[in-house]
Every structure is written in structure tokens, then in C-alpha cells.
Chains A and B, each alone.
Chain A
């Protein structure tokens, strides 16, 4: 598996197809971040696309190719919040209300909304590995390869993230 940094370097060197691998890799994580902000699935799909294109356009300026994941998430979030801003006023939904709208399988139920919100609240490094591991459906080893950390480090970060997620969720249930 090629690392993010390798793929980023390949794209910058002119191999556009390498970017397709990054899109595939971060499709769900990006949509998750967009969905968390927007609530609306269809808007999240549009914003995901926007985020990837923006990332591509600015890729040459990414000073740390290995930080592609967090950088992309940041872009996605901004694309999402900007998308809300650009909506006509009458369709601007408060995220909490909008979050009840449909997902591809129907409703994104309240538990999933809470869980997604909790994931987004995790510290950056933990959020990255959780998103890649669960939302990106990567093995722990693949996550380690992608982020350029050891398997042991990723395992520890996941473990810490689990604890933190439980705390966040418990707090939100009170």
C-alpha cells in the first residue's frame, strides 16, 4: 500500500491517477466530516467532491505530504461550513436540525449522529486514525502505513480514542 506521502508526491510529479487512490482512500472519512457539519447527505456528497478538488488544486503547497489526511479534513470542514453559508437563507438549516435528514440508507439515527459528532471532537491524531480505521475501513496496519506511524502507536491511539469516545458519548447522554 502506497502511503499518503508517496501518493501526494506522485500527484505533484504529474501522476493525476494517484490522486484517484487518495480520493478512494478518503471518500468516507471526508463524507463523514462533511456530514457532521451539514447533516444532509446529498450536500455532504457535493461538499466531498468540492473538498477533493480544492485539495488537489492546493496540493503543491502542502508542505508535509504525510499530513495529507488531517489537511484534507480541514479543507473538508471548511468546504462544508462554507457550503452552509452559501445556501439561500430559506434553506439554511441549523446543523442539529439538518442532521435528522436522510442518509443513503434512510435516516442517520440519533445514535449515529452522536457518535459521528463525538468522532469529530477527538484530538487530531486520534481522530485521524479512528476515521481511517473505521470510516475508511482500513486495517490497523494500513492505517499505520497511511499515516506513517508504527502499528503500536496506532493501536495505542485507537485505544485512547475509544476511551475518549466513550466519555464524550456518556457526557452527551446525560
Chain B
């Protein structure tokens, strides 16, 4: 194995041997959608909320303009010239039917990175945007080898270099009107962005006034507006590289041109590699079929008051059950969606019932296999979903008070180190096995999380007979309003504390790192016991 080709060949063979799993994506997405709390998803995309329909889009665009104009009238003292320019330019766009931008770029990425800018190589840019007679909206976007085309039904992204075609749902419902232009104009009204007037010049025989938009130290954009029509004529973007401003993008805008037939009727090529968005991917047709079946069912039957658990009567496991679980004609209007549940009961329940270590599920119940679809909507807690599913299965959670030994965590009040200084007690090195005290995920962790994690590992078997921790440290569990989670973090590591052998090491670590000690006390605690319902 000495030649490069041979090595590459063997690496490719290895890749083939590792193989791929059609189920992975949908399984992961299923679990993500069923996660009780998503650490990643935040506030959601505002654009998606306000731009659901082209009509809404136009109305919203108009509203933005009106708000901008009103704002100008009422911003006594804080009014500045660029807001007026923004408002005038947006108003001018109201009467535009098509936008065409042509030019070049040296970087086909939305975020400019200096190291990727090869300003000697330019890729052509061509953008068309226009409204259709049926109140639709179309966008054709080409940058070098990448073509994006939205036909109102599907959005195609074709990568010519790699002959790769990605097919997704149309974005026309979320596109901003004349986005290719308004994305720049919006910066004129952003008070956090520095804008200066750079004078006048003539562009294509039109008098133009320029504004320089500078954000940060290394990027600037010059936007030139027609002095008479207020429409954008030209946009030039620069980046500071090696002490010099280098242009990486140039665009010339024209309006109300006839859209060429080659653009209007663009058909993506038959690419060698074709990828789909999950919800239209033919590989997941069984699950989509199941969703259609469920949607049809609810066209004939009322939606549940809270939730409904549907058994997959055919017994199919729906290998391709790729959530998002949206129900056509139902999800958008009512908010109900489908949570597929294909797991053991133990896996479904784990971490849905808190506090950690207090859930007890008998072994025979832990093994129950679930192959269902839960019809639910946002607003229900994961505990509520768990209760509902259990009830449907003839099971219930009863709260049992038990006098038992608990660990009460106390904090001696010493000044804490910064969270980044606190590491796991055992270095991972090249260890193949996770040993007690090894870090699990490097991140910022609060004391609450560290204590919960300790109890979670100790109680992983869902027998609720090990550790229950009562946090009396007084250390904050939630950040103050406007503060991040990091503001109350105490550690960069959340060690693994599984097994009896972890316990002493954990005690030592908490004591030495934070001055947190545990006293063992007998207290009355609540244990959450899953059992069969007695419905007689």
C-alpha cells in the first residue's frame, strides 16, 4: 500500500464497506421531532411565519414600506437620511414587475471568508425575479456553476461542477419580494450599520447617488440608487484583504425587462446525482403515504381534543418514516402534526419524566415495542405526551411517596472557577471505553445539569432505586433575563458517572471543583411508577 492511487482506492473500498443506511436520516429526524426540548431550535424563522403566501408577501412588503414611512414621520430627532432613502427605494420597488441582476462574484458563498476569496477568478451572476399572473413568484439565481430555480412548486439547486441536482419545496412562500435588491436595501435602515453618502456618478446614462454600507472592519458594500427613480442601479461589494479593499462582487440591476424564455421556462437538467428534501423524497414514500392516510382519516373524523395515538394496524415499521410528520391541509391550519413512535417504551419514556432517577418502569413494560403515530400539537409537554401514550396502552404513572435515602447537595459558598477551567477528572486520551469521570460532551454546564446528569447515569435502568439528588446548593439553575446559559455555567465538562464505581469519584470532583458536598438523608420523595391500569 504505497501508491497514492492504491491508498485512495482502498479508502473508497472502506467507504463502501462502511455502507450507508437509508433509515438513519429519518430515524434521527424522528427522534429530533420527538425530543422533549430541542437545544438547537430557537425562535424559528420569522420569514417563514410572515411570508407564507405570495399575497401575504406582497401585503407584508407593502406593510414594511408603510411602517418605514410612518417610522420616518415619528422618529423625532432619531430620523436619519438613510431611512428616508430606504423608504423611497422600497416604494419605488412597489411598481416593479421584474428584477434582473447581472454581474460577477469571486465567492459564490453567502458568507464571505477572506481565505476563500480569489479575486482573480470571477463567476458570472445572473438573477431574475418576477411575479406571475396567478399571483405567484419566480426566482432564477445563477452564480457560477450553481443554478437555483424556483418554479413555484419545487426549488431546484443544480451544481453543474458535480452534476448534482437538489430538489426541494418551493421557497416562493417565504421569499421576500425583490429579495436580490431588498437584502441590500434593508441595511440602509439598520442603525447598527454604518452608512455614508459617497456622492454621485452616472451609471448607464442615469444619475446615481451612492451609499457605502460598512459592517465590521473588513466588509463594505456600495449601493447606487437612481437619483430620479430611487431604484437600485448597482451594487459593489468589497473585502479588506492584505490591507487593500478588493472587490468580490458586482451587480447591475435593471427592471421590468421581458424575462427571456430560456429563464421563464428553465428546466433543470437530468443530473447524475439527484437529492430530495426529506418530505418529497421518493425514498420515504411509505411514510408520506402513511401521513396522507392519516390526513384523509381526519378529513372524515374530528381532530382529537388533545392528542390521539394511532396504531399502525398493518404492523408496518415504516422504515422510511421520516418525520416532520406534517399533515397536508391540517398542520398549517390547526397545528396538529404527527410524532411517529418506533421504539421500546423505555426509550420513549427516558428523560420524559423528571427528576432523573425517579422513574421506575418494570422490566416487562420497558420492553414493550411501540409502533404508533401520535397526533399532537405544540404546547403539550413531553410529560403530557408520555402520559397520553401510557394511558392509551393501558398504563399509567402513579406517584408513590417513599421514605428513602437521598443525596442533598450543598454548596460551601467558595468563589467558583470560571466554567472553562473546570475539566472532567479523568482525561479521555485514547481510551476506548468511557470510564467514570471521563468527559461526555465539552460544553458549558450548569450545576443543575451536572447533578441531573449524575442522577441520570445512576438511574439509567429506570428502576429508581439508586440516586436521587436534591439540589440545595442555591446555585442558579436558570440564567437571568437577557443572559445566556453560559452566564451560570460552572463546568466545561459533564463527566460520565455510570455504575457504582463512579460514586466516590463524583463526590470528590464536586467537592474539589465547586465546594459542593452531599449529605445522605432520609426524606420523603416521589417516585414515578409506571404500571398497568386497573380499570375495572
Do A and B actually bind? yes
Closest approach, in angstroms, between the C-beta of A164 and any C-beta of chain B?
Answer: 11
Q: Which chain B positions have C-beta within 8 A of A13?
A: 42-45
Q: Is the CB of A108 within 8 A of B17?
A: yes
Given contacts A23-B25, A95-B432, A145-B109, is CB(A134)–CB(B8) below 8 Å? yes
Binds A, one of B29-37, B57-65, B175-183: B29-37
Q: Which chain B positions have C-beta within 8 A of A136?
A: 15
Q: Which chain A positions have C-beta within 8 A of B297?
A: none
Q: With contacts defined as CB atoms under 8 Å apart, how many contacts are there between chain A and chain B in the complex?
A: 185
Within 8 A of B (CB), among A48-87: 48-49, 52-54, 56-61, 74-75, 78, 81-82, 84-86
Q: Is the CB of A85 within 8 A of B498?
A: yes
A31 to B498, CA, bound (A): 24
A37 to B278, CA, bound (A): 30
Partner of A45, one of B16, B17, B24, B440: B24
Proximity bits, A109-131, B CB within 8 Å = 1, else 0: 00110011001000000000010
B381 in contact (CB, < 8 A):
no
The closest CB in chain B to the CB of A104 belongs to B19
Proximity bits, A1-41, B CB within 8 Å = 1, else 0: 10101100001111111011001100110011001010001
Q: Is the CB of A48 within 8 A of B24?
A: yes
The closest CB in chain A to the CB of B435 belongs to A85
Q: Which chain B positions have C-beta within 8 A of A150?
A: 115-116
Partner of A52, one of B28, B435, B439: B28
A169 to B1, CA, bound (A): 8
A13 to B16, CA, bound (A): 34
Binds A, one of B184-192, B359-367, B441-449: B441-449
Interface centre among B2, B324, B432, B499 (most CB of A within 10 A): B432
A155 in contact (CB, < 8 A):
no
Q: Which chain B positions have C-beta within 8 A of A100?
A: none
Q: Is the CB of B116 within 8 A of A148?
A: yes
Q: Which chain B positions have C-beta within 8 A of A135?
A: 11, 14-15, 18
Q: Is the CB of B498 within 8 A of A78?
A: no
Q: Is the CB of A17 within 8 A of B434?
A: no
Given contacts A6-B110, A13-B43, A57-B35, is CB(A116)–CB(B14) below 8 Å? yes
Closest approach, in angstroms, between the C-beta of A167 and any C-beta of chain B?
Answer: 11
The closest CB in chain B to the CB of A28 belongs to B18
Q: Which chain A positions have C-beta within 8 A of B435?
A: 85
A74 to B443, CA, bound (A): 12
Given contacts A82-B434, A165-B7, is CB(A56)–CB(B39) below 8 Å? yes
A27 to B22, CA, bound (A): 10
Q: Is the CB of B18 within 8 A of A103?
A: yes
Closest approach, in angstroms, between the C-beta of B11 and any C-beta of chain A?
Answer: 4
B480 in contact (CB, < 8 A):
no
A66 to B4, CA, bound (A): 29
Q: Which chain A positions have C-beta within 8 A of B14?
A: 32, 112, 115-116, 119, 134-135
Q: Which chain B positions have C-beta within 8 A of A134?
A: 8, 11-12, 14-15
Q: Is the CB of B7 within 8 A of A37?
A: no
Proximity bits, B109-150, A CB within 8 Å = 1, else 0: 111010110000000000000000000000000000000000
Q: Is the CB of A56 within 8 A of B32?
A: yes
Closest approach, in angstroms, between the C-beta of A107 and any C-beta of chain B?
Answer: 9
Given contacts A14-B44, A112-B13, A162-B7, is CB(A82)–CB(B18) below 8 Å? no
The closest CB in chain B to the CB of A44 belongs to B18
Q: Is the CB of A75 within 8 A of B441?
A: yes
B391 in contact (CB, < 8 A):
no
B267 in contact (CB, < 8 A):
no
Q: Is the CB of A14 within 8 A of B442?
A: no
Interface size of B as a range: 35 or more
Given contacts A54-B441, A57-B38, A145-B109, is CB(A49)–CB(B11) below 8 Å? no
Q: Is the CB of B433 within 8 A of A81?
A: yes
Q: Which chain A positions have C-beta within 8 A of B523?
A: none
Q: Is the CB of A57 within 8 A of B17?
A: no
Interface centre among A16, A17, A24, A111 (most CB of B within 10 A): A16
The closest CB in chain A to the CB of B430 belongs to A121
Q: Is the CB of A162 within 8 A of B27?
A: no
Closest approach, in angstroms, between the C-beta of A101 and any C-beta of chain B?
Answer: 13
Q: Which chain B positions have C-beta within 8 A of A11?
A: 40-41
Closest approach, in angstroms, between the C-beta of A48 and any C-beta of chain B?
Answer: 6
The closest CB in chain A to the CB of B1 belongs to A169
Closest approach, in angstroms, between the C-beta of A161 and any C-beta of chain B?
Answer: 10
A58 to B441, CA, bound (A): 9
Q: Is the CB of A28 within 8 A of B32?
A: no
Partner of B162, one of A58, A78, A139: A139
A105 in contact (CB, < 8 A):
yes
Q: Is the CB of A166 within 8 A of B25?
A: no
Given contacts A16-B324, A61-B444, A115-B14, is CB(A28)–CB(B20) below 8 Å? yes
Q: Is the CB of B115 within 8 A of A24?
A: no
With A20-B278, A108-B17 known, 9 other A-B pairs at CB within 8 A are A5-B111, A14-B42, A16-B33, A60-B42, A74-B442, A81-B432, A82-B434, A165-B7, A169-B1
> What are 24 inter-chain pairs, A to B, with CB distance below 8 A?
A13-B44, A14-B42, A16-B33, A20-B25, A27-B20, A31-B19, A32-B15, A49-B31, A52-B28, A53-B35, A56-B28, A56-B35, A56-B39, A58-B441, A78-B428, A82-B498, A104-B18, A111-B10, A112-B14, A119-B11, A130-B11, A135-B18, A141-B161, A166-B1
Interface residues of A (CB under 8 A from B): 1, 3, 5-6, 11-17, 19-20, 23-24, 27-28, 31-32, 35, 37, 41, 45, 48-49, 52-54, 56-61, 74-75, 78, 81-82, 84-86, 95, 103-105, 108, 111-112, 115-116, 119, 130, 134-137, 139, 141-142, 144-145, 148-150, 153, 162, 165-166, 169
Shortest beta-carbon contacts, A-B, top 7: A14-B44, A59-B40, A104-B19, A134-B11, A81-B434, A52-B28, A57-B39
